[in-house]
Amino acid sequence: MFILTLQIDLSTKTNKSLTIHLGMKKVLLGLALFAGINTALGQQNELGCGTEPAPASALNFITQLHESGVFENLDIERVQNTIFVPLQIHIIGTDAGLGYYGIGNLMTNICELNQKYHEFGIQFFLRGNINYINNTSLYNLPSFQVSAAANTQYNVARRINVYFANLSVMSLCGFANYPQTGSPSNEPLRQGAIWLSPSCSGPGNSTFAHEMGHFLNLPHPFDQTSDNPTSPLSERVTRSTNEVSPRLNSNCTTAGDRFCDTPADFRPQRWNCPGVNSTVTDINGDLFQPDGTLFMSYANDACQNKFSPQQVAAMKATLTITQSQTGQNIAGPRMYLLIPAIEPYDTITGSAAVLEPANNSTGHPANWVFFRWNRVPGATMYSVRIRRNITLIDEVIVYGGDTALLYTKNTMTAGLQYNVSILPFNHKVTCRPYGSTINFTVAQGYGTSVEEQSNRFFKVYPSLLTSEMPLRVQAAEAINEAMHYEISDLSGRLVRKGSLASTGSDMFEIPTDLLNNGAYLLRLVQGDKTHFQRFVVGR
C-alpha cells in the first residue's frame, strides 16, 4: 500500500489535505466510509464517505464539553423533552426527470433514521415540500465544488438540507459538513448540507445516521489514529491516567474522536463485525479493539446499532444551550435549527385504499388516468406509486390532503397492465406502509401529453376542481395580447368559450361554475400559439 496526499477543495474556507490509500481494489477518500450492507440483498456497497476529518471547530467544541463537565454521569441521563429537527429534502434527477430517489424509500429512510435517534430524544421531520431538481450534471455529481454551488443555490435557512443524487462518479455513498463549514460560508443559517446516494439509502443502511452524526459534530472514531496507529499522537487503547513508565497514559480527550467511551479505533475501511484484530497495536503495545456497533465506525451496517453516551451528549449540545456543572451556558452551533419550533401534526391512523380505477379494469387512456382513494386521518400528503409488476414507473406526491389525482404524463404504454398503491404521510409521520395494490390496463393515450404542450409557457391548475372553483392560468411572462379559450368535453362538444383581456399581468382565471361534473379539454390561443390542458370537474 502507498499513500498519496492531494489538495482538494472541500467547499470550506480553505483547502484541506486528504489522504488517499490505494490498494486491493479499494479507494479510501478522506478516510472513506464504505457504505452499508443492503440487508435485503445481503450485499455490501463498495462506495465511500467523503466527509473530511473533523475540523478544529468540532474538536474544540468536544474539548469544551469535556472541560465543562458535560460528560460526567451520563449514564443517569434520561430523555425528558424530544428535540425535533427539520429536514429540507432535495431530490435530484436528470434533465428529463429520471433517476429520482423514490418517495417510499425516502419515507423508510427517514423512519429508520428516527428509530436510530429515538432512544435519546432527537427526531427529524420534513419542513416544506420536497424540492425536485432536474439537472443531469448535478445528478451525476462530479465534485465537491459542484455540490458547494448547489448548496449555495438551493439550501433553505434553518433546516438540515439533504440532497439525494448519484455519487458513484466520486465513489461515494455520502458526505456531510460539520457545523461552521461548507457553503454558503457567509450565511450561517443555511450553511452546509448532507449528500446521500440512493444506492446507499435503501432499507437497512446506516449511511444517513452516520452522515447526520458528522453534521452534528461527531468525528470518525479512527480520525488521526488510522494514519499511524503507533504514533504518540494517535489514540491509545488504555483509559487509565495512572500508567507506569514507559507506558503512556490515556489521551482519549485529545486524540481520535475525543470521546473516552468509544474504544480506540484504527480501521478506516469497511470491516466485518465483530472481527478479530490479532496484530495491530498502539504505542503501548495494546491490541486495538474497535467497537463495530457504533454508527460512526466503519463496521458493516448489520453490526451498527448505537451512539455512545458521550456522542449523544455532543449531538444534543450541538442543537441546544447546554449548562455545564459550573453554571456556564454552552451555545450549540446548530441551535438555529430549532427556530421556529415544529408545527403540530396528528398521528396517522389507517391505510389508503384505491377507489378508482377499479381493480383489473381496462381501457384507461395511457395519459389520462384518474386515481382516487380514501382519506386517511392525519395524512396531509399522499404518494401515488405506479409500477409495472415491481418496476417503478412513477411516483407523484399529492399535497394538501387531496385524495385524487388526474395522471396525464406519457410514462405508460397502451395495452400493458400497471398497478398503483398509495402511501399516506405527513411532515412528522413517515413510518407508514403503502396501502393495497390494484391493477389496471391502459389504452391508447390522447396524443401528445399535457405537460409537453403546456408547461413551457403556461401553468394551468388545478387539474381537479369543484364546480365553483375557477381554473387559474399562470403565464411565463406578462401577457400584453388578448388570449382566447375554449372548453370542450371529451366528445369534442364545445361547452364554453371566452377571452382573457391583456392586462399586463401573468395571472388569469377562467370560470367553470356552469360546468357539470366530468372531464374537459381547455384550449388556449394567444397569437399563433395554441396550448391544451385537460381537467376534471367534481369528485
Look up residue 105 and give its amino acid: N
Look up residue 466 and give its amino acid: T
Distance, CA of 138 to CA of 135 (rounded, Å)? 5
- Max CA distance (Å), the chain: 98
Which of 25-39, 144-158, 270-284, 395-409 comes out lowest in average pLDDT?
Answer: 25-39
Which of 246-260, 308-322, 356-370, 496-510 comes out lowest in average pLDDT?
Answer: 496-510
Topology match between the domains 2-338 and 354-443:
no
Q: Where are the domains of the chain?
A: 2-338, 354-443, 457-537
- Joined together, the cell numbers standing for residue 197 give 446516494
Distance, CA of 386 to CA of 366 (rounded, Å)? 12
Fold for the domain defined by 457-537: Immunoglobulin-like (2.60.40)
pLDDT tens across 160-218, in order? 999 999 999 999 999 999 999 999 999 999 999 999 999 999 999 999 999 999 999 99
Q: Cβ contacts of residue 153 below 8 Å, gap of 6+?
A: none
**β-bridge mates for residue 17, sequence order:** 7
- The per-residue pLDDT for 516 is 86
**β-bridge mates for residue 421, sequence order:** 385
Distance, CA of 112 to CA of 125 (rounded, Å)? 12
Cα of 431 vs its chain's centroid, Å = 15
Q: If 0-12 CB within 10 Å is exposed, 13-18 middle and 19+ buried, where does residue 41 land?
A: exposed
pTM for the complete prediction?
0.78
Confidence of residue 7 (pLDDT cuts 50, 70, 90): very low
Q: What class does CATH assign to 354-443? A: mainly beta
Cα of 314 vs its chain's centroid, Å = 23
- The per-residue pLDDT for 222 is 96
Q: How many helices (H) and strands (E) does the chain have?
A: 7, 30
Confidence of residue 284 (pLDDT cuts 50, 70, 90): very high
- At the fourth CATH level, the homologous superfamily of domain 2-338 is Collagenase (Catalytic Domain) (3.40.390.10)
Helix (H, G, I), strand (E, B) or coil at 468: coil
pLDDT tens across 40-74, in order? 222 344 577 899 999 999 999 999 999 999 898 77
Q: Is the pLDDT of residue 425 over 70?
A: yes
- The per-residue pLDDT for 14 is 31
Q: How far lies 417's CA from each of 245, 294, 356, in Å?
A: 77, 46, 15
How big is the chain, counted in residues? Answer: 539
Distance, CA of 253 to CA of 202 (rounded, Å)? 35
